[in-house]
Amino acid sequence: MTQSTSSAVTEDYIDDNWSVSIAPVTISLLTFDTLKADYFKEGFLIGELKEMSEVVPISDDVKKPYIRRYKTLYIKSFLPWPTFLRFYDGYGRVVPEKVASLLGDLLPNVVGWYRCRPFPGTMITNRETMIQQHLRSLVPLLPKYFVFCLVIKNEAENGNPLSFDHKFFNYDSRFELVSHKILNLLSICLVGDEFLQLYPGVVNAAELGVGVQEIISELKNRKKMRKMPLFFDPRLNQIAEELLSVELEANRLENELRRTR
């Protein structure tokens, strides 16, 4: 049945609509990085643009199966910008040398930038518009796919954060909202090697999530319950070591910037 359906697919449909996809660990760390910020918190988004395709089967609205081709911007990680140093002037004009000094070899992989503001709202300022226009000219990514992520912190009356919203925009003569999705962590291990190549940093977390579900389903078995500490400890330690190495590298870069200032 599958072969006959595939052989009947003869037409391609190029879908100009595109979206942003981000791993749950990445969005969680990004939220944590901006959690206590009472000032402008900024940084760069690292990822790649992928061309995707899927077979659209016959349905009430589709008389003949076809191949839909579209693009997805995968955000793999982010790099915070040191708070004591700005990469733009008061007008929003970017200083390329400062950007290149921090990003180094990562510059070709920059797909956008993010900002957390100390006030609510989604109104984009003239300075942010200028920054967006200048940054997208520094990377090889096509300008229309270069995104600006606005992290919106909703606070209670006492100043404590209640929730976070993440809005992604692209700029093509004006800012437009880009749809995004946060991938389901528990399904990561089921989608094959392609996802693991896109998001290598979340492999251990994904395996941990799937393992948790397996253990929960067997909680009635006391022998299985005794094995829980043996399952968690090595994986948590490995994840903690990986996070520590990332933090140490970030501190090293920040110290180098302080010395060269």
Rounded Cα distance between 204 and 15, Å, is 34
pLDDT (tens digit, 0 to 9) for every residue of the chain, 261 residues total? Answer: 444 444 465 577 777 889 999 888 888 888 887 776 667 889 999 999 998 888 777 777 767 777 888 899 999 889 988 877 889 988 889 999 999 988 889 999 999 999 988 777 788 989 999 999 999 999 999 999 999 999 887 766 666 656 778 899 999 888 999 988 886 654 444 444 444 445 444 444 444 444 444 544 554 454 444 444 444 455 555 665 566 566 667 767 766 776 776
In the chain, domain spans:
22-46+75-183, 184-261
146, burial (CB in 10 Å: exposed 0-12, middle 13-18, buried 19+)? buried
What is the fold of 22-46+75-183? Cytidine Deaminase; domain 2 (3.40.140)
pTM of the model: 0.65
CA dihedral (26, 27, 32, 34) positive or negative = positive
The answer for residues whose C-beta is within 8 angstroms of residue 256's C-beta and 6 or more apart is none
Query: What pLDDT score was predicted for residue 176?
Result: 93
Query: What pLDDT score was predicted for residue 133?
Result: 95
Q: Which amino acid is at 125?
A: T
Instruction: Please answer whether residues 238 and 82 qualify as being in contact, where contact means their C-beta atoms are separated by less than 8 angstroms.
Output: no
Q: Is 252 helix (H, G, I), strand (E, B) or coil?
A: helix
Q: Are strands 161-171 and 175-178 parallel, antiparallel or unpaired?
A: antiparallel
Query: What pLDDT score was predicted for residue 36?
Result: 67
